[in-house]
């Protein structure tokens, strides 16, 4: 990132137009944006220059009454946005759906009862459509590369979702209501092992993120990271967090738990090699992450036959 990226506060006037100074709250280098009447251009640099010789990092390509109205070289400045525009987004976001049953609080939604605390600071909850610039949508080509792990050790979940992403239709049919272009209300159909059936899970699109400075136009989610401008992995992760208890409940688990929740398949097996044979365990129907077996009648398969079975199921 360029050193001059950040928020600028109006601090007086220069050549009859506003003078802006970079807010140093992030410990960054001080820069100024000022107008030079001799060149009829806006300049960004480390100091205000009044002479004909100007030291600057970049300058506007045309003249305007304020820097955000000018054109700038895209290699140096992608956009200058007035704070009032950001306030307008905040006002617009007030109309988005808010799920009161999974509140925007550390407890119970981040660190739920019975789970090991994440140790994360209080998050700010940001609508998925505001995580960074651009047009967001629920799907933009479902791909395993859409899955990026965040600050919680839920690699098991990311691995399971990446495997499911090989079958896009299996992911698409989970979403009964897509709120990405409307009020941010999503309805997903997931399997709840506690009642043994598929249930509707309603969530909003607010994602827990690390706190950012007032000028930030991007937010960093605490958990799964978006790849591009598609929401599905963020929303599905949130729905699973709500179903399982909290985001902290996603810190440790089995990929089988995700497969069961997303597909509704309850016949899942785990095979362990021990004593010269492969031994079978089955997913417990009344537990989130546990496999079980009957020690007296446990199914076992010799390595040769087990390999044949694997080859037969290799699609």
Same structural domain, 136 and 236? yes
> Does residue 86 lie in a domain region?
no
Per the CB < 8 A criterion, the answer to whether 70 and 64 are in contact is yes
Provide the pLDDT for residue 83: 76
Per the CB < 8 A criterion, the answer to whether 76 and 2 are in contact is yes
Pairing of strands 8-14, 32-36: unpaired
> Does residue 249 lie in a domain region?
yes
The structural domain count of the chain equals: 3
Same structural domain, 174 and 58? no
Same structural domain, 52 and 145? no
Same structural domain, 281 and 204? no
Cα torsion through 36, 42, 45, 46, rounded to 10: 50
Domain that holds residue 21: 8-80
Per the CB < 8 A criterion, the answer to whether 17 and 36 are in contact is no
> Does residue 2 lie in a domain region?
no
> Does residue 85 lie in a domain region?
no
CA distances from 48 to 51, 55, 271 (A): 9, 8, 70
Same structural domain, 153 and 255? yes
Provide the pLDDT for residue 234: 96
Same structural domain, 75 and 215? no
> What is the chain's pLDDT, residue by residue, as a tens digit (315 residues)?
578 999 999 999 999 999 999 999 989 999 999 999 999 999 999 999 988 888 899 999 999 999 999 999 888 898 888 877 666 667 778 899 999 999 999 999 999 999 989 999 999 999 999 998 889 999 998 988 888 888 777 889 999 999 999 999 999 999 999 999 999 999 999 999 999 999 999 999 999 999 988 888 789 999 998 888 999 999 999 999 999 999 999 988 889 999 999 999 999 989 999 999 999 999 998 888 889 988 888 999 999 999 998 898 865
> Does residue 161 lie in a domain region?
yes
Which 3 state secondary structure label does DSSP give 228? coil
Same structural domain, 175 and 95? yes
Per the CB < 8 A criterion, the answer to whether 20 and 33 are in contact is yes
Per the CB < 8 A criterion, the answer to whether 167 and 260 are in contact is no
Residue where the block lists tokens 């137009």: 17
DSSP string, 23-72: -GGGS----EEEEETTTTEEEEESS---SSS---SEEBSS--SSGGGS-B
Provide the pLDDT for residue 315: 56
> Does residue 300 lie in a domain region?
yes
Same structural domain, 131 and 198? yes
Same structural domain, 179 and 65? no
> What is the number of H-type helices and E-type strands within the chain?
6, 14
Provide the pLDDT for residue 1: 55
Same structural domain, 23 and 144? no
φ and ψ at residue 228, rounded to 5 degrees: 85, -150
Same structural domain, 53 and 183? no
Same structural domain, 230 and 155? yes
> Does residue 156 lie in a domain region?
yes
> Does residue 160 lie in a domain region?
yes
């Amino acid at each position: 990132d360029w050193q001059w990226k950040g928020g600028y506060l109006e601090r007086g006037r220069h050549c009859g137009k506003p003078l802006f100074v970079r807010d140093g709250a992030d410990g960054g280098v001080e820069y100024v944006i000022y107008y030079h009447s001799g060149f009829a251009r806006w300049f960004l640099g480390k100091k205000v220059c009044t002479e004909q010789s100007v030291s600057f990092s970049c300058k506007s390509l045309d003249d305007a009454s304020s820097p955000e109205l000018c054109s700038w070289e895209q290699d140096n400045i992608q956009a200058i946005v007035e704070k009032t525009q950001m306030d307008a987004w905040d006002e617009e976001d007030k109309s988005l759906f808010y799920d009161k049953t999974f509140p925007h609080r550390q407890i119970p939604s981040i660190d739920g009862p019975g789970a090991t605390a994440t140790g994360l600071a209080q998050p700010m909850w940001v609508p998925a459509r505001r995580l960074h610039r651009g047009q967001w949508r629920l799907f933009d080509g479902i791909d395993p590369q859409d899955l990026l792990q965040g600050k919680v050790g839920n690699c098991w979940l990311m691995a399971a979702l990446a495997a499911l992403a090989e079958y896009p239709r299996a992911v698409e049919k989970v979403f009964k209501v897509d709120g990405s272009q409307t009020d941010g209300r999503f309805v997903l159909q997931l399997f709840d092992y506690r009642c043994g059936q598929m249930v509707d899970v309603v969530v909003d699109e607010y994602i827990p993120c690390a706190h950012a400075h007032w000028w930030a136009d991007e937010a960093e989610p605490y958990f799964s990271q978006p790849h591009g401008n598609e929401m599905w992995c963020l929303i599905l992760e949130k729905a699973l967090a709500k179903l399982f208890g909290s985001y902290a409940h996603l810190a440790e688990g089995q990929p089988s738990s995700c497969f069961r929740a997303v597909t509704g398949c309850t016949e899942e097996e785990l095979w362990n090699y021990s004593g010269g044979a492969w031994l079978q365990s089955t997913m417990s129907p009344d537990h989130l992450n546990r496999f079980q077996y009957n020690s007296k009648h446990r199914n076992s398969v010799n390595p040769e036959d087990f390999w044949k079975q694997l080859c037969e199921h290799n699609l």
